[in-house]
Amino acid sequence: MPLLEVKNLRTYYITRAGPVRAVDGVSFFVEKGEVFGLAGESGCGKTTAGLSILRLLPRYGRIVGGEIIFDGVNILEVRESVFRRKYRWKRISMVFQGAMNALNPVFRVGEQIAEAIMLHENVSKEEAMKRVKALFEKVGIEPSRVDNYPHEFSGGMRQRAMIALALACNPELVIADEPTTALDVVIQGQILDLLRKLREELDLSVILITHDLSTIAELCNRVGIMYAGKLVECADVRSIFKDPLHPYTQGLINAIPSITGPKTRLRSIPGAPPDLLNPPRGCRFHPRCPYATEKCRREEPAYIEVRRGHWVACHMVA
């Protein structure tokens, strides 16, 4: 049984103009100890899917359908007080997007992490601070820096501190939302190495949310490609990069610059993702797809397993 199974998840943002279908019928699973990537352009619903798992949506966000099964329990049916005590942060945690600014500037970094530990576990402040020092060591920060304020940390150190915060209560699943964005390339590499090492040491499962396919290639076992609130393709990383089947995935991969092949112009995907308040009928990718037919404009393609472990939603493939 996978550690996490997301089944037909639908999360909408309720606006005056109508519901924005940010996640619209998404299904995937995460095995114990694997890194599962969720990739796609900005606004495709990746972060909303992650926030739905932690039930941390903004006020106007609603999970309107589907199931999220974690370790055999549909966590959407768990009462908020129980979810807060037993699941959020304790078993499932998150490295938030924009972690660079997520630490409170007026509190010491160590104090902020200790508070998260004390909130979920019955431990004294001394014990919590001891654990924070051990966590700092684990993520590569000198433990004596626990009394520093966020402005005394570099960008890479703040990101490491955010990873320490996510690991504070020994979770089984960590959702890392764009954990390397806004860091320079050298620090990005260090953070990816750290995530890889922690995953192995702690036997963690990770959902890595990113628009950066090279990060996916470096770290993930399997990847789901999202477009306009839907999962359009999902497979192991090797299959996705060697033999992408969905035209959107092919477009994303063609847009990655190669440093070894001949110099060519980068090919971007023409157009922009649709407005999810009024998504196009049929296949949501049809206005940008070079292979679109009348059927694509009319009928939504089913999301089916075309090869063992390889799912695609495209009329051309099915």
**Residues forming the site for ligand SF4 (CB under 6 A):** 246-247, 283, 285-286, 289, 291-292, 296, 301, 314-316
| Residue number with CB closer to ligand SF4 (110 or 301) | 301
DSSP 76: G
Of the pair 108, 315, the CB lying nearest ligand SF4 is at: 315
> Using alpha carbons only, how large is the chain's radius of gyration in Å?
20
Nearer of residues 44 and 113 to ligand SF4, judged by Cβ? 44
Q: Residue 23: which of 59, 52, 2 has the closest Cα?
A: 52
Task: Tell the smallest beta-carbon distance from residue 229 to ligand SF4 (Å).
Answer: 14
- Smallest distance, ligand SF4 to C-beta of residue 205, A: 30
Residue 315: CB minimum distance to ligand SF4, A: 4
Nearest to 214 by CA among 180, 169, 246, 174: 180
Q: Least CB distance from residue 283 to ligand SF4, whole Å? A: 3
DSSP 8-class letter at 88: B
Task: Please say which residue, 64 or 316, places its beta carbon nearer to ligand SF4.
Answer: 316
Give the shortest CB-254-to-ligand SF4 separation in angstroms: 14
CB of 287 to ligand SF4, least distance (A): 8
Element counts in the chain: helices (H) and strands (E):
10, 12
Residue 13 near residue 60 (C-beta atoms within 8 A) = yes
In the structure encoding, which two tokens stand for residue 105, read together?
């500037």
Q: What is the Cα–Cα distance from 314 to 225, expressed in whole angstroms?
A: 13
Nearer to ligand SF4, 88 or 286 (CB): 286
The smaller minimum CB distance to ligand SF4, of residues 219 and 240, is found at 240
Token couple for 49: 């899917």
Q: Judged by CB, which is closer to ligand SF4: 100, or 316?
A: 316
Largest CA distance in the chain: 67
Q: List Cβ neighbours of 60 (8 Å cut-off, separation of 6 or more).
A: 13, 14, 15
Minimum distance from residue 21 beta carbon to ligand SF4 (Å): 17
User: Is residue 237 helix, strand or coil?
Assistant: helix
* H or E segment and range at residue 197: helix 185-202
